[in-house]
Structure 1
Amino acid sequence: MRAVVDKDACIGCGLCIATEPEVFEMDDDGKAVSVADTTEENKDSVEACIEGCPTEAIHSEM
């Protein structure tokens, strides 16, 4: 599974980066971007990012 960030919806709040810094980073525009696949070890925290995103900008793809 890979988390995908909709850059048009992202407000750059940083919640996902604070929750799972191995998967999410900020780009040069101050928006979150997914930089790694979801693993069994970080699956729960990535799902928390998806559910907790205040603008629902994160979703998952297989």
Structure 2
Amino acid sequence: MLLAVIGGVLTVLTVLAGLVQLPSSLAGPGGIATGITLVVTAGFALLVVVAGRQWGGPETVYW
């Protein structure tokens, strides 16, 4: 349950951070690296959520 909650929070924070940083990061020279970092972070958070569902059952995660 704890892993699922952490994964969900990470996913939400990653999406919000991506929306805030997207315009400025894509315009700069580090835009590609920032984009890759956001994708990897979101992917990791998604894996944590999926693992939480598998270990804790479908009733563990509500989002």
- Which TM-score applies when normalising by structure 1? 0.30
Higher alpha-carbon Rg:
2
Q: Which has the higher strand share?
A: 1
Identify the structure with the greater helix proportion.
Answer: 2
